[in-house]
Structure 1
Amino acid sequence: MCGITGWVDWSKDLTNETAQIYKMTNALTHRGPDDKGYWISKTVGLGHRRLTILDPEGGQQPFVINEGNRKYVMVYNGELYNFLELRDELLQKGHRFRTRGDTEVVLRAYLEWGIDAPKYFNGIFAFAIWDEAKQELVLVRDQIGVKPLFYAQKGGALIFGSEMKALLAHVDINPEITYEGLAEILTLGFRTPGNGIYKDIQEVMPGQVIQYNQQGKKETTYWKIESYAHPDDLDTTVSTIREYLYDIVNRQLIADTEVVTLVSGGLDSSGLTAIAADLYRQQNKGSLHTYSIDFYDSEQDFATDYMRPSLDTPWIEKVVQHCQTIHHKIDLTTSDLLEYAATPYRAHDLPGFGEYEVSLYLLFKAIKQRAKVAISGEAADEIFGGYPWYHEDKRLHMPTFPWIHLWIGDRQYNRFSYFSEECHRLLRPIEYLHDQYQAALNDVPTLPGEDPLSADIRKFSYLNMTHLLSMLLHRKDQMSMSVGLEVRVPFCDPRLVQYVWNIPWKMKNTDGMEKGILRRALADVLPDDVRSRKKSAYPQMKKKEYYAALQAQMQQILDDPQSPLLPFLNPEEIQREIIGQAVPSSMSAPIERLLQIDRWMKEYQVEIRP
C-alpha cells in the first residue's frame, strides 16, 4: 500500500514547481514510510510514497514504461490479487516484464486493454496513469472503493491524491466549505460518496475511470452491482460461497511480509481467521498471529444493549483455541482515548468518529510493531444483511438511513435540537438529510417482479453497501494507513459481492438466522456455538470518567466565544441534554462528533462560505 499524488497543468511549467510536488507527496509519508519517488515534466508532476509489501527491489514508483515512441508513467496504491494470472496472460500476448510484482502488471494491462483494463482486476487499488503521447491522465479506483482517491479541478489544472491532505498541501486549494458541506458534516456523520466536503474537492467513485486531458474530463463506470435472478439452489449457493472465501483468503495471504488477522469472536472475522489458519497449516507457514481490541475492566463495565448482546473476550478465546493462533489482545484506557483524540480528524482531514477510530488507530499501531498486513471482516454485514435493522419492520420503513436513525433516537430528529435556530435556517439539516436519502434510493438497481419485502430489502442493502460500507472502509483505510499498515478486506471481493447481492433474502437467512447462508458456508470451519453467535457491535468504552472528560471539553466550547462551532449550536439544549446529565458513556458518540468538528475547524482554519 502506498500514497499517491499528482498535478496536471498545461498553463505552467511544472519543472519549476518541484517544491510544491514534494510538499504534496510528503503529506502522505505515513501511507508509505519505506520509500518515495517523483516524476516531473513540464505538464505533469507525480509523487509516490511506498509501503513495501511485494517485490521490494522492483516496485519503486513512479513506474515508467517506454513502448516504442510512447511513454507511460504510473503511481499506484493497492494490491492486485490476480496479478499472477494476468501476468501470464500478458506474457502470452507478447509483453515482457522486468519486475515480479503487481505494479508493472497494472501498467502493462493498461497498455494492452486501455481504460478497460480495470475490468480484469481483482484487488484493492487506486492509481493514476499519465499517457504522454495522448497528453492524458487516467484515474482509476477499485470496484468497491476500498482504496481512496480524491481530486480537484482548478481552472485547467487537475490535482489528485490518496488523501485530501495532499490536495490541501497545494497552494491553490484552500480549506473552504460551503453551507452544503457543513450540512453534510452535521447531519450525515459521513460523506456522501463522491463528495469531498471541501470546495472543489471530489472523490473518484468506486468502479470509476476518469480521463482528463486538454478537452476536459470524461467519467466512465467500468463496474457496478447488477440485479438478476439468483441461479443456484441452497446447497450450490453454500458451496459457492465457501469456495469463494477460500480462494479470496488464499490470494490475500500473498505477501513478502507477515500477514495477521483481526478477530472479534464474531462470525465474520472468526470465519476469515479460521480459513487463514487452515491455509497457513496447509502451506506450512507456521502459526497465524491474531489481534483484538478491548478496554480495561470491560467485563466489569459491560451491559447488554441493542447493538452489543454479548462480550467479545470469551468468544475470541474460543476462536483462538480452535484455530491455534498466537493471539495479541490490546487493552485501552480512558487516558489512551483522550491522548489520541485528535487522530481521527487529522487522518480524515475532516471530523471523525471519536473513540471508535482512536481505538482502531491504537490497535493498528500495535499490529504495525510486528506486521505490515492484516486481514479484516468488513462488508459481511452489509452484503449478507447482518445488522439488526435488516430484521425489524419498523426500521425497514424509516424516513432516513437506518444507522442515522439509530443515532438520532426514536424521537424523530431529536438530536437536531442541538443545533441553533440560525443553523437550521442556513443549513436546513432535516431537509438536507431527507434529500440525500431520497437521492440514494433513486440509484438502487431494482429487480423487476420481485416481491415487496425482497424489494425493500434490496433497497436497504444497497444503502448499506454504498453509504455505510463506504464510511467503514474509509475509516479502516485512514486509521490503518496512518501507521503504514495495509488492511485487506476479503468480503469486499467484487465476485463475492455480486454473487451474494442476488441471493434471495429467505435463502440468506436460511435456518432462521441472520446471515444463515454464511453460517452454513462456515460449517466445519468454526465451532457451532461461534457460528450461531448473534452479531455484537464493535467494543465501546463504558467508563464514566471518559464521558465526564467529554462533558468538560464540551463545556469549554460553550464557554469559548471564539469557538467556530458555537454559532451553530443550541447551548441551552446541549447543557441540558449532554453536560447536565449523568448518563452512561453510550451517549459519547454525539458529543465526540461535536468535539471533532470544533477542533477540526480550529486546527484547519476552515472557512465557511454560502
Structure 2
Amino acid sequence: MCGITGWIDWERDLSEEQQQLELMACTLRDRGPDREGYWLSPRAALAHRRLIVIDPIGGKQPMTFTQGDTTYALTYNGEIYNYRELREELRSRDHTFKTQSDTEVLLHAYLEWGEECVKHFNGIFAFAIWDEAKQSLFIARDHLGVKPLFYAQIGSSIIFGSEIKALLAHPLIKPILDDAGLAAIFVSLFMSGGGIFRDINELHPGWCATFTRERVNLRPYWQLISHPHTDDLETTAEHIRALLSDTVKRQLIADMPVVTLLSGGLDSSGVSSLAARNFAEEHRTLDTYAINYDNSEENFKGNAMRPSIDRPYVEQMASYLGTNHHDIVVSTNDLVENLLVPMRAHDRPKMGQIETSLYLLFKVIKQNATVALSGESADEVFGGYPWFHQERVINAPTFPWLAARMGGASDNQFLQPHASFLSADMTQRLHPRNRIRKLYQDALAEVPRLEGEGARDARMREIFYLNLTRFLPLLLDRKDRMSMATGLEVRVPFCDHRLVQYVWNIPWEMKSVDHIEKGILRRAFSGILPDEVRMRRKSAYPTSFDPAYTQAVRKWTLSIANDTNAPIRPFINLDFVSKLAKHEDEAVRGESAYFLFDYIIQANAWLQEYHVTVQ
C-alpha cells in the first residue's frame, strides 16, 4: 500500500513545482514510509509515497513508460492480485517486463487495453495515469472502494490524492464547509464518503474518470447485476468456499511478512483457517492477532450486538490451527491518549475508540509484519448484522443500522429518535430528517432490481444494497486509515468483487439457511472450522467496557461543553450534551452515548486543528 497525489494543469507549467508536490506527498508519509518519488512535466506532476510489499527494487514509482515520442506516467496505491496471470497474457501480446511488480503490469495493461484495463483487474487499488500524447489524466478506484481517492477540479487544475490532507496542502484548496459538508459531519454520521470540504470530491467505488482540457468523463466501470440464482444449496456453498480459497491464496502473495486478524468469529476464523492451510503447504506457521482491553472482561455485559466474549473462541481457533498467536491488550490510557488519531487520519471526526483500538492493534502488528488479512465485510456481503433479521428494522423506511439504533418503544429521553445533539440553528439549517430521508431514497433508486422478484426478496435486496454501498464504506475507510496510519497493509478477502457479485443474487432463504445469520457461509466453512466456532452467533467488533474510559470521555466532553471558546459550541445542543455527560446511570445513557462523546471530542479538535471555515 502507498499514498498517491498529483497536480494537473493545462495552463500552467508544472515542471518546476516539485517543492509544492513534496508538500502534498509529505502529508501521506505514514501511508508510504519506505520511499518517495516524483515525476514532473509541463502539464502533470505526480508523487508517490511507498510502502514496500512486492518487488522492493522494481516497484519504484511514479513509474513511466515511453513508446516512441509518447510517455505514460503512473502513480498507484494498492495490489493487483491477478497480476501474475495478467503479466503472462500481456507477454503473449508482445509486452516485455523489466520488474516483478504489479505496478508494471498495471501500466502495461493500460497500454494494451486503455481505459478498459480496469475491467481486467482483481484487487484493491486507486491509481492515476497521465497520458502525454492525449494530454489526459485517467483515475480509477477498486470495485468496492477498499482504497480511497479524492480529487478537486478548480479552474484549469486537477488535484488528487489518497487522502483529503494531500489536497488541503495545495494552496488552491481551502477547508471550507458548505451545507453538504456540514451535513456529512453532523447528520450522516453513520455513513461515509464525500470530500467534506468545498471543491473536494471522492471517486466512487467501481468508478473511473478521464480529465482532459475540454471535458470530464466520470463513469462506473463495475456495478452489481441482478439475475436469478440457479445453483442449488450444496453447489452454492461449494462455490463460495472455492472463491474464498482462491481469494485468500492470491492475497497471501507478498515479499514481506503476512499475518491474519483473528477474533474467534466466523469471518476472521475462516480467513485464518484458509491462510493457515496455505502456510502449512509451505511448512510455515501463520501468525494471528487478536485485540482485548484492560478491565473489560470483568465488566462485560452481553447485548444483541456483542452476545459473547471473544477470548475463549480465539484461543480455541489458535490451538485448532496451530498458529503463533498474539493477544494484544489495549490500555484505557492508550485509548484516551490516542482518541484524536482517527480524526487526523480521516481528516474528519470519526468512530472513536473502535478506530483508536484498531490503530493500537495495527501499530503492534507492524512491528512484525507488513500485511494482514481481515474478515471485514462478510457481514455486509452475507447478512450478518442483527438488523438483517429484525422485522421492525427491515420494514423501517430508513437505513437499517439507524433504525436498529433507535430501539423500540422507550421512555429513555436519550434514546428517543427526536432527541438531537445538534443546536437549534444547525437543525433549522440542515433539516437532518429530510436529509437522511433524501439519502435513503436516492440509495433505493440505485438498487438493481430483479424482474418478477417477490416483495420479501426485493426488500432484502434493498437491505443488502444499502449495507454494501452506504455502510460498508464506513468500515473500509476505518480499516484503511487506521492501518495506513501505521504503515500496515490490511487486505479484505470478502471484498473480492467476484464473491460479492455471486452472493448478491443468492436468495435470502439460502443465505440464512439453518435459521442462523450467514448460514450459507457457515455451510461453506464446514470441515475447516470447529463447530463451536463455525456456529458461534455474530458478535460485533469488541469495545472497552472499562468504566474508566467512560469517565474519561464524559469528563472531556463536559470540559468542551463548558469552554466558551470551544469551536463546536455553535453546532451542538449544549443542554442535551451536558445532561448526557453528567448522567451517572449507564443504563440511561446507553452505549450510543460513548460514540457521541468520542465524536464531539474529535469534531471539536478537528474544527480547531484544520482551521475549518463554515460558509
TM-score over 0.5 for the pair: yes
1:314 corresponds, among 267, 288, 312, to 312
Quote the residue 2:142 is aligned against: 142
Quote the residue 1:373 is aligned against: 371
Quote the residue 2:443 is aligned against: 440
Superposition pairs for residues 288-307 of structure 1, below 5 Å?
A: 288-307=286-305
Quote the residue 2:520 is aligned against: 517
Cα deviation, 1:113-142, whole Å, max 9, x if unaligned, reads 001001010000010000000000000111
Number of positions where the alignment pairs a residue of Structure 1 with one of Structure 2: 607
The answer to whether 1:600 aligns with 2:606 is yes
Superposition pairs for residues 43-54 of structure 1, below 5 Å?
A: 43-54=43-54
- Matched residues in 2 for 1:203 and 1:418: separation? 27
Q: What is the CA-CA distance between 1:257 and the residue it aligns to?
A: 0.9
Superposition pairs for residues 4-403 of structure 1, below 5 Å?
A: 4-193=4-193, 195-284=194-283, 286-403=284-401
Quote the residue 2:595 is aligned against: 589
Equivalent position amino acid for 1:112 in 2? E
CA contact (8 A) 1:138 1:212 kept: yes
User: Would the alpha carbon gap of residues 409 and 197 (structure 1) be closer, same or farther in structure 2, given more than 3 Å must change?
Assistant: farther
Q: Secondary structure at the match of 1:31?
A: coil
- Matched residues in 2 for 1:99 and 1:311: separation? 47
- Matched residues in 1 for 2:369 and 2:567: separation? 40
CA contact (8 A) 1:413 1:430 kept: no
Quote the residue 1:557 is aligned against: 560
Quote the residue 1:528 is aligned against: 531
- Matched residues in 2 for 1:608 and 1:311: separation? 44
1:481 corresponds, among 481, 484, 488, to 484
- Matched residues in 1 for 2:567 and 2:402: separation? 24
CA contact (8 A) 1:554 1:579 kept: no
CA contact (8 A) 2:175 2:610 kept: yes
Moved more, 476-485 or 444-453: 444-453
Q: What is the CA-CA distance between 1:541 and the residue it aligns to?
A: 1.1
Q: What is the CA-CA distance between 1:575 and the residue it aligns to?
A: 2.1
- Matched residues in 2 for 1:211 and 1:499: separation? 29
2:501 corresponds, among 498, 504, 516, to 498
Quote the residue 2:461 is aligned against: 458
- Matched residues in 2 for 1:15 and 1:558: separation? 49
Q: Secondary structure at the match of 2:196?
A: coil
5+ residue gaps, structure 2, are none
The answer to whether 1:423 aligns with 2:426 is yes
Cα deviation, 1:84-113, whole Å, max 9, x if unaligned, reads 100000000000111111000000000000
CA contact (8 A) 2:297 2:545 kept: no
Q: What is the CA-CA distance between 1:16 and the residue it aligns to?
A: 2.9
Under a length normalisation based on structure 1, what TM-score does the superposition of the two structures give?
0.98
- Matched residues in 1 for 2:586 and 2:512: separation? 36
Cα deviation, 1:526-562, whole Å, max 9, x if unaligned, reads 0011110000011111122211111111111211222
CA contact (8 A) 2:561 2:569 kept: yes
- Matched residues in 2 for 1:21 and 1:81: separation? 30
- Matched residues in 2 for 1:521 and 1:130: separation? 43
Equivalent position amino acid for 1:142 in 2? D
Equivalent position amino acid for 2:295 in 1? D
Q: What is the CA-CA distance between 1:393 and the residue it aligns to?
A: 0.7
CA contact (8 A) 1:210 1:217 kept: yes
Q: What is the CA-CA distance between 1:448 and the residue it aligns to?
A: 1.1
Moved more, 503-512 or 358-367: 503-512
Quote the residue 1:405 is aligned against: 403
Q: What is the CA-CA distance between 1:179 and the residue it aligns to?
A: 2.1
5+ residue gaps, structure 1, are none
User: Would the alpha carbon gap of residues 133 and 270 (structure 1) be closer, same or farther in structure 2, given more than 3 Å must change?
Assistant: same
Cα deviation, 1:220-245, whole Å, max 9, x if unaligned, reads 21111110001211111111111111
Cα deviation, 1:374-415, whole Å, max 9, x if unaligned, reads 000111100101111101110002232122233444468636
Equivalent position amino acid for 1:32 in 2? G
- Matched residues in 2 for 1:542 and 1:27: separation? 34
Moved more, 275-284 or 29-38: 275-284
Q: Secondary structure at the match of 2:15?
A: helix
CA contact (8 A) 1:188 1:404 kept: no
CA contact (8 A) 1:266 1:315 kept: yes
Q: Secondary structure at the match of 1:139?
A: strand
CA contact (8 A) 1:185 1:191 kept: no
Equivalent position amino acid for 2:204 in 1? M
CA contact (8 A) 2:423 2:573 kept: yes
Cα deviation, 1:258-280, whole Å, max 9, x if unaligned, reads 11000100000000001100111
- Matched residues in 2 for 1:405 and 1:395: separation? 6
Q: What is the CA-CA distance between 1:191 and the residue it aligns to?
A: 4.8
Q: What is the CA-CA distance between 1:570 and the residue it aligns to?
A: 1.7
CA contact (8 A) 2:339 2:598 kept: no
1:577 corresponds, among 572, 575, 580, to 580
User: Would the alpha carbon gap of residues 140 and 70 (structure 1) be closer, same or farther in structure 2, given more than 3 Å must change?
Assistant: same
- Matched residues in 2 for 1:565 and 1:324: separation? 50
Equivalent position amino acid for 1:439 in 2? D
Q: What is the CA-CA distance between 1:567 and the residue it aligns to?
A: 1.2
User: Would the alpha carbon gap of residues 124 and 379 (structure 1) be closer, same or farther in structure 2, given more than 3 Å must change?
Assistant: same
CA contact (8 A) 1:151 1:158 kept: yes
CA contact (8 A) 1:2 1:31 kept: yes
Moved more, 546-555 or 359-368: 546-555
Cα deviation, 1:435-493, whole Å, max 9, x if unaligned, reads 11111111111111111111111000000000110110011000000011000000000
Q: What is the CA-CA distance between 1:70 and the residue it aligns to?
A: 1.4
Q: Secondary structure at the match of 2:254?
A: coil
Coordinate RMSD, CA, aligned: 1.3
Q: What is the CA-CA distance between 1:190 and the residue it aligns to?
A: 4.4
- Matched residues in 1 for 2:191 and 2:398: separation? 15
CA contact (8 A) 1:332 1:359 kept: yes
Identity of aligned residues (%): 49
- Matched residues in 2 for 1:420 and 1:367: separation? 41
